[in-house]
Structure 1
Amino acid sequence: MKLGAAILETILAIPILGAMIILFSFWLLLPVEIALGIIGIIMSKKAKTKKTGHIFQIITGCLAWIPIVGWIMHIITAVILWIGWKND
């Protein structure tokens, strides 16, 4: 789950590409991102792994509608998810 979330966050962190994906989905990808974060937390709890990346994913999904803040949050969340995936 963390690998998929990390790939998604990395794609959304690419400045023009990520913005186009979000805009063309009419921001519907952000609630999907929140749902994936919740599912990730549930799966992490069952697997007894760290939930930090998924918590950041939920926060990012809530704040990503703000242009510059969203971009920065996608970068931070992608890095945290990649590190979490590597360490799990």
Structure 2
Amino acid sequence: MHPAVTLSIPQPCHQSWAVMTPTASGRHCAACQKIVVDFTLKTDAEILAYLAGAANGRPGGRFAAGQLERPLQRAAPAAPTRWRAMPFRPS
């Protein structure tokens, strides 16, 4: 079982999202000198997947207040689909 992941930003960047330069994967923050990804509309599972594949350990991110300071929920495994053959009966 994976340990719970909780996001916190003790010292958030003061730079406004609106003044950051748009890029293919987010926006570039001149103050932080990193690409900032917009996670505000992403699910917990999407955030965890992105962070797991991040090249550096500290990517920049824009989050909604409700996404911070709580354990992120991993995606529940999909239940297997069971199909049952039904006899065909024309009407």
Q: Is TM more than 0.5 here? A: no
**Which TM-score applies when normalising by structure 1?**
0.30
**Which TM-score applies when normalising by structure 2?**
0.30
Q: Relative contact order, CA 8 A, sep 6+: which one is greater?
A: 1
Structure with the greater alpha carbon radius of gyration:
2
Q: Which has the higher helix share?
A: 1
